[in-house]
Amino acid sequence: MPSRLRYDIEVLGFHVGSTLSLGTSSLVLQVSRRVEYALRAMIFLAQQSGGGRVSFKEIASHEHIPSEYLAKILKDLVAAGLILSKRGAAGGYCLAKAAEGVSFLDIIEAADSPVALNFCTEMGGGCDNDSCCAMYSIWQDAEDAMRNVFRRSVLSDLARRHRRPEGSAADTHGEAPAPA
Q: Does residue 172 fall inside a structural domain?
A: no
Q: Does residue 168 fall inside a structural domain?
A: no
Are 35 and 111 within 8 A, CB to CB? yes
Q: Does residue 77 fall inside a structural domain?
A: yes
Nearest Cα neighbor of 108 from 31, 6, 17, 174 is 31
CATH, residue 61: 1.10.10.10
Q: Does residue 8 fall inside a structural domain?
A: yes
26 beta partners: 19
pLDDT in the model for residue 21: 45
pLDDT in the model for residue 147: 87
Low-confidence ranges of the chain (pLDDT < 50): 1-22, 167-180
Q: Which 8-state DSSP code applies to residue 132?
A: T
- Residue 92: which residues within 8 A CB-CB, separation 6 or more? 52, 53, 54, 55, 56, 58, 85, 86
pLDDT in the model for residue 167: 46
pLDDT in the model for residue 5: 43
pLDDT in the model for residue 83: 96
pLDDT in the model for residue 129: 67
- What SS3 class is residue 85? strand
Q: Does residue 25 fall inside a structural domain?
A: yes
Count of domains in the chain? 1
Q: What angle do CA 11, 63, 17 make, to 5 degrees?
A: 25
Cβ neighbours, 10 Å, residue 12: 18
pLDDT in the model for residue 71: 92
Q: Does residue 176 fall inside a structural domain?
A: no
Are 150 and 115 within 8 A, CB to CB? yes
Q: What distance in Å separates the CA atoms of residue 71 and residue 156, rounded to the nearest whole number? A: 23
Cβ neighbours, 10 Å, residue 82: 24
pLDDT in the model for residue 169: 43
pLDDT in the model for residue 80: 95
Residues of the domain holding 124: 4-161
pLDDT in the model for residue 14: 47
